[in-house]
Amino acid sequence: MRGNKMKEVRMDCPGGHGKMMLRKTKKRMTFRGVNIIVPIEQYRCTVCGVEAATVTQAARIQKTMADAYRKTVNLLTGREIVEKRKRLGLTQEALAKRMNVGIASIKRWEGGTIQSKSMDRALRIALGDQSVGDSCTGNREFSIPRIKLVLKEFESVLGKRLLKKNDKFLFAAKYLWYADMVAHREMGESLTGSTYAALPYGPQLNNYKDLIEDIMKADESKAEPLNRGEKRIVTRIALKFPEERMVYDAAHKEKIWKKQPNGAIIPYTDSAELTGF
């Protein structure tokens, strides 16, 4: 049907040589500094060789170029995003919610706008791609000073202390876990690189007994500062769980914790299935 429609809008040569011919070719071109080959369908004058595309054709060429580029640099193409999303039975809205982006962003990426590398990672995570990076650390190098920094940030938003002497990290670990998981889900990268184990009293830092003292002693000024997006995640989590009990209870309802056997690592690749946040 589409093909027939295109024939109806046959173009005349702007040089006055009458009707132009529909021509399908493959063009080699440079797009954002990358060589791509793009199948192109447009009109060509058999007399002077001038080429022109209808609005529909031009839009399709743009989309094809964007997808050829994404394929070449290993980003999800618009078509791949649509296919993966539908396979999971997700609407554009549901996917947007998982990633905490507007539905317009999903529409743009599916339509041909090129996503950034980090958004591509977040997209893959939200779309359940199990091969995304390191599922133990959430694609970030483990940093004890950063754990302290994140917990200090929580303390300043919550207006209470989480880092207490002789603390077993019962509550601190839950805030941290949500922050790391949500950052991974929305930005493709955890905040602290921590690995979490499923323990009977909820998600906990793996080997937390060996870590707590080092965390308490750590110099958070040595950690990479939190960027705006990271701070916003901490703030959102703190506002949702103003009481320690709330974050504790929410974590205990998470099926990604429940489904793990006692002591097993909770992979970051499950972050798209968080329900409490």
The answer to the question of residue 15 lying near Zn ion (CB under 5 A) is yes
Q: Mark out the alpha helices in the chain (DSSP H runs).
A: 2-8, 55-72, 78-87, 92-99, 103-111, 117-126, 144-158, 172-187, 208-217, 228-240, 244-253, 255-258
Please state, in angstroms and rounded to a whole number, the distance separating the CA atoms of residues 4 and 18. Answer: 20
The answer to the question of residue 47 lying near Zn ion (CB under 5 A) is yes
> In this chain, which stretch among 44-52, 115-123, 153-161, 202-210 interacts with Zn ion, using CB under 5 A?
44-52
In the chain, the amino acid numbered 113 is T
Q: Of 15 and 225, which CB lies nearer to Zn ion in the complex structure? A: 15
- How far out from the chain centre does Cα 110 lie? 14
**C-alpha dist (Å) from residue 271 to 7, 29, 126, 138:** 48, 39, 8, 9
The answer to the question of residue 176 lying near Zn ion (CB under 5 A) is no
CB of 17 to Zn ion, least distance (A): 3
Q: Of 54 and 92, which CB lies nearer to Zn ion in the complex structure? A: 54
Tokens of 16: 């006055």
CB of 229 to Zn ion, least distance (A): 53
Tokens of 117: 């590398």
Torsion over CA: 180, 92, 88, 130 (sign): negative
> In this chain, which stretch among 7-15, 87-95, 109-117, 268-276 interacts with Zn ion, using CB under 5 A?
7-15
Q: Under rule CB under 5 A, how many of the chain's residues touch Zn ion?
A: 6
In the chain, the amino acid numbered 142 is F
* 3-state SS, residue 203: strand
Q: Of 13 and 151, which CB lies nearer to Zn ion in the complex structure? A: 13
The answer to the question of residue 17 lying near Zn ion (CB under 5 A) is yes
Interaction pattern, residues 228-257, with Zn ion; x per rule: CB under 5 A: ------------------------------
Site for Zn ion (CB under 5 A): which residue of 13, 40, 66, 176?
13
The answer to the question of residue 48 lying near Zn ion (CB under 5 A) is yes
CB of 39 to Zn ion, least distance (A): 23
The answer to the question of residue 45 lying near Zn ion (CB under 5 A) is yes
Binding site for Zn ion (CB under 5 A): 13, 15, 17, 45, 47-48
